[in-house]
Amino acid sequence: MGKRLSVFIFSCIGFSLLFTTFSFSEQRQLPQEIENRISDTIALSDLLTYAYDTNPSISSSKESWKVFIENYRIGTGYPDPQLMVTYFPSPIETRLGPQDWNVVLSQPIPFPGKLTQKGKILEADANISKLKLDKTIKNIVTSISTSFYELIYIQKAGDIARANFIINQELIKISETAYAQDRASFYDISKAQAQTAQIRYDILLLEELELTEKARINTLLNRTPDAPLGKAQDLLYRDVVYGLDEIYDLSTSNQEDVLIAQENVKKFEEAIKLSRYESLPSFKLGLFYAAIGEPDIPTPPKNAGDDAVGIQFGLNLPIWFGKNQSNVYKATASRQKAKADKLTITNQTKEKISRLWFKLQNSKRLITLYEKELIPQSMRSLQTAETWYRQGDSSFFDYLEVQATAYNFQLSLARAKADYGQTLVKLEQLAGIVLDKKVAGKKGENNS
């Protein structure tokens, strides 16, 4: 019933959030096949495919959707017929003979069109449940993706820290030699040792953070927290090709919370129509059969002992107009509430997009700043500081400071890239489509 796709995965080429239907064909990779790969190298697409099959939240939402589908079938069917049998231990005497027992078979029949109208409400419930399934999948995709970017940062920061640890160990040796040659002070040696100790602490911290992040990913995949996970594959940087106003429009067309609110408005509009049926009668058709025995009289009538057969017809009388009118008022108030809720959710979504847009642009500026200016400058400054130190034109302390600055800039670049990726994931979740390429179709339309 829902028209939106139920599964959203990232492209293996770009690290964009990609919404597509998972195939259940024979070519689909089973979790066990992915399990063998992710213990060595982690690809984001593997994690998302694995989670779709194993995450309990997704499984729960799937089953919930099935419940509402069955509710539609149940709610639009006719009420069950009723069968009533009456047996008389002491038969009732009639002119034609004693009535031993009777049976009544009846069928309630709603007013024509009432079940169809009720079905429209149940269909809206099923559509809402489908949208909630989509939302659950997107939330899992976002959680895994942001955690994946965090793992990339942690592992990359660990590599940077280990490389700088080796450099700082060499600096300690240089400082000790320089101190022996009276070219460095004892403070310089202490500074180099403290800097090395700090990097050693960074390495230990990053190793623990890596274990924590892997445990989080494993729980999202419904694996044990300490299940093996390998090295995360780095993801390509991509730029957003949509403007802020376009993303606002996309969110109103694709964001599940907005669509659920919109579906609720439609649901209560149909509920208003259904409530008007409450002032119309429902019917009941029945068949009556009574078993008549032989009368115990000297001269029985000609039709004595003939069984009785009758056709029944009934209807309820909705004469309490105040109650019926209240049903209409209630449905109308619910519709107005749903409209207000939709506006609230739409505004809240745009506010989130605005904050994420600023964060995304800021991360982008930081990446450019570190890649184009600060890191190249720090590398040149490091070479200059080393040359000047060897020539005796600069102190060893200056050399250490430049080395620490270069190390911090490298970590900051890795952090900015991770922040950019995580923010883009969240922004794409609200937009409902990938943002690094234009989709075909009308503005704001999700064709995935």
> For the segment 92-142, what is each residue's pLDDT rounded down to a tens digit?
777 777 888 889 999 999 999 989 999 999 999 999 999 999 999 999 999
Query: What's the CATH number where 96 sits?
Result: 1.20.1600.10
What was the pLDDT predicted at 19? Answer: 34
The shares of helix, strand and coil residues in the chain, as percent rounded to the nearest 5, are 65, 10, 25
Report the length, in residues, of the chain.
448
Q: Strand 41-42 to strand 231-232: parallel, antiparallel, or no bridges (unpaired)?
A: parallel
Burial classification of residue 291, based on how many CB atoms lie within 10 Å of its CB (0-12 exposed, 13-18 middle, 19 or more buried) = middle
* Residues 117 and 267: beta-carbon distance below 8 Å: no
Residue 1 belongs to a domain: no
Residue 2 belongs to a domain: no
Q: pLDDT-derived band of residue 4, with 50, 70 and 90 as boundaries? A: very low
CB atoms within 10 A of CB 82: 12
> What range does the domain containing 259 cover?
8-431
Provide the domain count of the chain. 1
What was the pLDDT predicted at 357? Answer: 96
Residue 417 belongs to a domain: yes
Which pTM does this prediction carry?
0.79
Residue 379 belongs to a domain: yes
Q: pLDDT of 28-69, one tens digit each?
A: 456 778 888 998 999 999 999 999 989 999 999 999 999 999
Residue 171 belongs to a domain: yes
Residue 446 belongs to a domain: no
Most confident of 65-79, 201-215, 370-384, 424-438: 201-215
Residue 264 belongs to a domain: yes
Residue 445 belongs to a domain: no
